[in-house]
Amino acid sequence: MVKKLTLDIDYSDNFLILGIVSVYTDYQLVHYVNKTLGFNFIKYADFSLNDYTKSPITYSWFYCKSDELKVKSYFIANHHAKQKLLPDFKHIDYMLIIDNSENFNEAGSFITSLRKVKGITGVFKIDPQKIKNISLLLEKNEMHELAQIK
């Protein structure tokens, strides 16, 4: 009898996820995030969690990499006319995801700085463990990054 082995990987340990509530459109908000926090987010093709459907639902996707800090960051919209990317976090408009966050100790100052931006009404640190299917989201995000960043 053949035994089936499965490997459970917890992707969420190395990620800092900030939920942002804002009246700005994605490109306006990214401009202020870049200006306020010193990021250099660049717009790439939209992200789709279920890209195998006939007409996938897509979300704005921005990417920034800091070789100096050894950190990759993603800015992803949480809203689409049909559904939210994270249905349990309907109040969140955008997510700022920082990969390899154990090398990164700026979360508190980022939240404080972002809350000072005029069009941002809220910034929240989201516990990755509270997001349903976080592993799927992070895996799809990584696959999207590999396809976009060459």
- Domains parsed from the chain with CATH numbers: 12-45+53-148 (3.30.160.110)
Structure confidence at residue 13 (pLDDT): 61
Mean pLDDT of the chain: 84
**What is the tens place of the pLDDT at every residue in 25-46?**
999 999 999 998 888 999 999 9
Where does the chain have alpha helices with state H? 26-37, 107-115, 134-148
Cβ-based burial of 27 (10 A; exposed 0-12, middle 13-18, buried ≥19): exposed
Using the predicted structure, report yes or no on whether residue 2 has a pLDDT greater than 80.
no
Burial 108-137 (b: 16+ CB within 10 A, else e): eebbebbeebeebeebeebebeebeebeeb
Using the predicted structure, report yes or no on whether residue 110 has a pLDDT greater than 90.
no
pTM of structure: 0.84
